[in-house]
Amino acid sequence: MPRHFQSAQRISDVTISDIVIMSEAARARRAEGHHVISLGIGEPDFNTPDHVNEAAIKAIKDHDTQYPPIAGKPALKSAVAALYDGATPEQVLVSSGSKYTILNGFLASLNDGDEVVVPAPFWTSYADIIRLCGAKVVVVPTHAENGFQLDANDLRAAMTPKTRWLLINSPSNPTGAVMGAEKLREIGAVLADFPDCWLMSDEIYQHLTYGIDFASAWDVLPEMRDKMLITNGVSKAYAMTGWRVGFGIGPQDLIKGMTTVQAQGTSGTCSIAQAAALAALTGPQDLLEDRRQSFLERRDLVLNHLHAMDGITTPTPEGAFYTFSSWQDLKGGMTPDGKTLETDRDFCQYILEAANTTIIPGTGFAAEGHFRISYASSVEDLNQALTQMAAAIAAIKRP
């Protein structure tokens, strides 16, 4: 044994995410006595619904506290399967958050040197999860002028004999782009020419679309169901981020492989949290529409602020709860205390110091020249933070 800790090769490429770096910078600033508003984290500011909390309390009182079945409780697996046309409970794996579902899926299927194609901008964790599994991330950029939609020709150009998965995310974190049924069909047509490549579709923001219908890959591409993993969960829709319940829906052989991984990883998902998730999925659903409306109002409020900022360009997101803006026109600009803004991190650090607001650098999402705002915060915080940001941005001396 070496005397000092030496990290395993598999984590050597895993970076500390920009989200963590910005959160730590914000914490340091708070410790100095500043009131910092976080528009960094992707977490609804609502409470978990009461009936969900009560189901968890009942589970505790009923002593539902033994080791759960590894792949999930039958009632919850059935409730999830019922959401996906033709799916059986055996095609469902319940995990400790959909992030772990994604890790499970990749751990169960990837070998060293395999490739996973991911359209960028993408959620920070994807690249690290894929690298952790020994595979290579193949980035396919998408562009604001095309609504951050994946171009089928660009996808085709990225595919190689080593491509094992295409990982898509609609509605998208960080861009809010939503893939309609037609776009999914275009993607399906490309994948039809690559029989060794499977489709992972992260649909965690399914219930948050604005002016466009959500389309699940499960429904649009039924011919691919034997080579597809849908990942979803209760975190975002039901304000249950801390309960850590997510699920995967896919062919039985994949689910079996993922169950093997989970057996040695977590032994299954907290029995109390599963009782809560079951109540969320089978209880009243009108809260989803109430919350969607509330996010829509906040999106429009944030866009109004951002569109009034000179040098900032922000497309209108059609889903999730993020805006993804370009600050390229201000690159090379100078702050009032004489610092030149070159990188996304420079820009976000300046906003933290000058506007006491945390925003996330685009580099963290493989899209230099941008920043992400999460509008899952209160209207008061959004108004205050964005007013402070506008003043900070107006004070930048243009290059």
Ligand X SMILES: Cc1ncc(COP(=O)(O)O)c(C=O)c1O
Q: How far is the CB of 130 from ligand X (least distance, A)?
A: 13
Question: Residue 327: which residues within 8 A CB-CB, separation 6 or more?
Answer: 311, 312, 344, 347, 369, 370, 371
Tell me the chain's radius of gyration from C-alpha atoms.
Answer: 21
With a CB cutoff of 8 Å and minimum separation 6, the contacts of 96 are 244, 245, 246, 266, 269, 270, 273
Handedness of CA 308, 312, 317, 320 (dihedral sign): negative
Q: Does 372 bind ligand X (CB under 6 A)?
A: no
Q: How many residues bind ligand X (CB under 6 A)?
A: 13
Q: Is 328 in the site for ligand X (CB under 6 A)?
A: no
Binding to ligand X by residue 369, rule CB under 6 A? no
Question: Please, which residue, 242 or 284, has the CB nearer to ligand X?
Answer: 242
Q: Which of 44, 49, 97, 333 binds ligand X (CB under 6 A)?
A: 97
- Using DSSP bridges, classify how beta strands 370-374 and 228-233 pair: parallel, antiparallel or unpaired: unpaired
Binding mask 44-83 for ligand X (x = CB under 6 A): ----------------------------------------
Using the contact rule CB under 6 A, the part of the chain among 64-72, 94-102, 110-118, 354-362 near ligand X is 94-102
DSSP-assigned letter for residue 15: P
Q: How many residues does the chain have?
A: 399
Write each residue from 238 to 267 as x if it is in contact with ligand X (CB under 6 A), else as -, in one continuous string: ---x----x---------------------
Nearer to ligand X, 98 or 163 (CB): 98
Nearer to ligand X, 115 or 203 (CB): 203
Q: Report in angstroms how near the CB of residue 175 gets to ligand X at its nearest.
A: 11
Torsion angle of alpha carbons 231, 106, 318, 285, nearest 10°?
A: 10
Looking at this protein, which amino acid is placed at residue 338?
G
Q: In terms of Cα–Cα distance, which of 254, 228, 205, 209 is closest to 85?
A: 228
Taking the complex as a whole, the smallest distance from the CB of residue 397 to ligand X amounts, in Å, to: 35
* Alpha-helix runs per DSSP H in 266-332: 271-282, 286-307
CA distance 345 to 358: 11
Tell how strand 198-202 and strand 228-233 pair up.
parallel
User: Smallest distance from the beta carbon of 202 to ligand X, in angstroms?
Assistant: 5
In the complex, what is the shortest distance from the CB of residue 396 to ligand X, in angstroms, rounded to a whole number? Answer: 30
Q: How far is the CB of 170 from ligand X (least distance, A)?
A: 10
CB of 325 to ligand X, least distance (A): 18
Q: Which residues bind ligand X (CB under 6 A)?
A: 42, 97-99, 123, 169, 173, 202, 204, 233, 235, 241, 246
